[in-house]
Amino acid sequence: MSSRADESGPRCGVAVCHGFSGAPSSVLPWAEGLAARGFDVEVPLLPGHGTDWRDLEGRRWREWAECFEDACARVAARTDLLFVAGLSMGGALALRAAARLDVAGIAVVNPGLGFYDWRVRYLGVIRLVRRTTLPINEPAAPNPAGDEGDYPVTPLAAVHELRLLFRDTARSLPRVTAPLIAFKSDVDPVIPPSSLRRILQTVSSREVDFVPLHKSPHVATRDAEAPLIVERTAEFFARCAASHATRTPGSRSGHNA
């Protein structure tokens, strides 16, 4: 999905990542909104997602990271500036990619870096005696954009991999230097506020915008404030692109680790 808002400016692309046990449909309004505003957008389906929970059970976190970085490479190959964006676990993958790749800006919605449940730290053992758990349910979105793709049960082996991803992402945060905009729901039953606090305290980005979401649950990209997320993301990325064009015409921006 792509279009070009300003033919005189740089071609801007965005790799958008969905969350754990979800599917691209969970971020579709965000992706479509950015595409309508002139960005070349790609939303990959992460391995083990969009099929069956048993498929997710056998996946490793590096498969998810490699899949998203492959999407980033495709977007970068056809544009001048690469931006990354993600919801929940997708936010962690976007931040990790930003620490490793040449990106011009980052947008995250309810980014994951930790859990409410302290028992998660023992999943390395628990997963050996129990295979699944029920996912956290949220109130239905007032204007649903379609099935989020969530599985009816969550494999604990995959949650263990998610924990390993969060740990690796946390180690990567000091290498994140690109401008960052972060959205966080006031009421999020999935990801604790401490995750975003740690992100904002650890990244090396000089430009950081924070946007509180007062009316949205965890999957805010499909809820009442989805239009706000689209508008603020597009404005932020456009500002990053303009700053890059003024600073270093003809070259890519970001951090390359």
Q: Could you list the active site residues? A: 88, 188, 218
Q: Are strands 132-133 and 154-155 parallel, antiparallel or unpaired?
A: antiparallel
Q: Which of 112, 109, 107, 110 is nearest to 39 (CA)?
A: 107
DSSP letters of 228-254?
HHHHHHHHHHHHHHHHHHHHSTTS--S
Q: Are strands 132-133 and 40-42 parallel, antiparallel or unpaired?
A: unpaired
SS3 147: coil
Distance CA 158, CA 77 (A): 31
Annotated binding residues: 20, 89
255 within 8 A of 176, measured Cβ to Cβ = yes
Beta-bridged to residue 133, according to DSSP, are 154
Which residues, 6 or more positions from 222, have their beta carbon under 8 angstroms from its beta carbon?
A: 26, 28, 29, 141, 144, 145, 148
Residue 23 vs residues 43, 66, 181, 227: alpha-carbon distances, Å: 9, 17, 22, 19
49 within 8 A of 18, measured Cβ to Cβ = yes
The first and second tokens of residue 119, run together, are 């028992």
Which residues, 6 or more positions from 167, have their beta carbon under 8 angstroms from its beta carbon?
A: none
Annotated binding residues for substrate: 20, 89
